[in-house]
Every structure is written in C-alpha cells, then in structure tokens.
A and B are shown apart, each in its own frame.
Chain A
Amino acid sequence: MAASIALVFFVVPDDADQGFSQRIFYFHVPIALTAYVCFGWGGWKAFLHLWKRRPGADLESYVAIHLGVIFGALTLLTGSIWAKISWGHWWLWSENQLVLFLVLFLFYCAYFMLRFSVEDGPARANLCAVYALFGVVLIPVSFLAIRLAQHFIHPVVFTRHGPRVHGTMLFTFCVSWAAMLTLFATLYQVELAGKRLDSRLRELRELLA
C-alpha cells in the first residue's frame, strides 16, 4: 500500500487530459475491481455451500460480501469525488456504469437485510447462498455496461485491444490493485478468524453454562 501511494504521488506523471486529478484512478479502479472480486468470491463460496455443503462456506461467503460492500461504498465515494472534479457533478444518473454499480451495491446491501431477518440455521445459509449467486449475474452486467453504452463520458482504460495507459501508469495501477487485493485478503482472513472464534466461544459458553 505504501509503495502504491509513493508511486501515485512521487513517480507517476500527470495525465495529459485530466492532470493531477487523474491520480484518483489508481485507487478508485482497483477498489472497484476488488469489490467485484469480493462479490465473486462470495458467490463462489455460496456455490460451494449449495453444491458440496462445505462447512464454513456460508460464513466465508458472508465475510466476502461484507467486505465487497465496504469496497463498493468506497468505490462510490471515490468515484463521486472524481466525478465532481472531472465532470462537475457528484453523480450522473445518465451514466449506465454508475447506476449499475449502485444497483449491484444496493443488491448486496439487501443481502444483510435478508441474512439478519432469518433465524440462524441451515435455512438462512441456503437462502443467503441463493441470493449471493443471483448477485453474481449482476457483476458482468455492471462491468460490461460501460462498453455497451453508446453515449458515455466515463473513461474506458482497458479495452479489447489492451490497456490505454502504458509504462509507469500501468505499473502503478498494477501495484495499486495488488495492494487492494492484499488488503482484501488480509481483512478477509482477520474477519473470518474473528467470526470463527466468536462462534466457538459461544459454543464453549453454552457447554460451560
């Protein structure tokens, strides 16, 4: 993370079009991509829960989606700041990419409403797993929306013909994304360990009571 910040502020040159404000790209896009990874990972764990009935897969799916929502909120916040300086607006409802990402984010926010409205047990785990799998369908739609839109002002950096940034910019982007993925992996492990410990302590308390 420190290396990525150092690269963003001291190494990478100003963008010819957007100038200094383009530096938000190095955190905003990796955070958005990491949010997709979180939701995808949550969906994969949900699938494992339904298919193989793997113990703990439901909890892993929940933790991944929880982190996905946090990364999603950060994507919307950093995106709004970038939009304000680049387009002069905090939000544009005419932008398919923004609206679809918001839909994806709200869909996963509703996951928590579902999870906490059903009593703990296999039924809750199954319901949440099915819901998480439905959400996975929205990920490619949200990701491809910008490429499908005919009139857009949201910049496209990664095209079919390769990235439109080169050299230091591309390297900085890759370092930033690696940093975000590492942050996700670390937080995922820490939160999962905390939740498992919490659950075991509850069982132990019941046994000792």
Chain B
Amino acid sequence: MTTAEKYVAAAYLVVFLAVLAYVLIIALKLVRLEREVAELTELAAAREEREPELTSVG
C-alpha cells in the first residue's frame, strides 16, 4: 500500500466512522425513547385503573 493510498483510506475511514458514530447515537436515542414510551403507557394504564376508584369516591 502506497502512502497516498494510506492517506486516502484514512480520509474515507474518518467519514465512515463519523457516520457510524452518528447512527449509533441515534439508535441509542431511539432505544431511550422506546423505553420512555413503554413507561408512559404503563403510567397511563395505571391511571386508567385508578380513575374508576376516584370517580366512585367523588
């Protein structure tokens, strides 16, 4: 591998790694959002179960 080839490969690798890192960060964020949606769904379900009790008390 010549010096020029090494530098060209390094330049393209930098771009590839940056895009890969970005995609990974976005994927991690999506996982977090999915977890939050699940938590909120549970919260909403629990609230729905509690509401009839509150209505009967009121």
Chain A residues proximal to chain B, CB less than 8 Å: 5, 19-21, 23-24, 27-28, 31, 70, 73-74, 77-78, 81-82, 84-85, 183, 187, 190-191, 194, 197-198, 201, 204-205, 208
Contact = CB atoms under 8 A, between A and B. Distances in A.
Interface residues of B, number: 24
Interface string B1-40: 0111101101110110011001000100110010011001
* A-B complex: 8 closest residue pairs judged by Cβ atoms: A21-B4, A20-B4, A85-B7, A81-B11, A78-B11, A24-B11, A208-B43, A77-B14
Given A20-B5, A21-B4, A74-B18, 19 more contacts: A5-B12, A20-B8, A24-B7, A24-B8, A27-B12, A74-B14, A77-B14, A78-B11, A81-B10, A82-B7, A85-B4, A187-B26, A190-B26, A191-B26, A197-B33, A198-B29, A205-B43, A208-B40, A208-B47
Interface of B: 2-5, 7-8, 10-12, 14-15, 18-19, 22, 26, 29-30, 33, 36-37, 40, 43-44, 47
Nearest to A21: B4
A121 B4 CA distance: 50
Tell me what chain A mostly uses at the interface: helix, strand, loop, or mixed: helix
A78 B33 contact: no
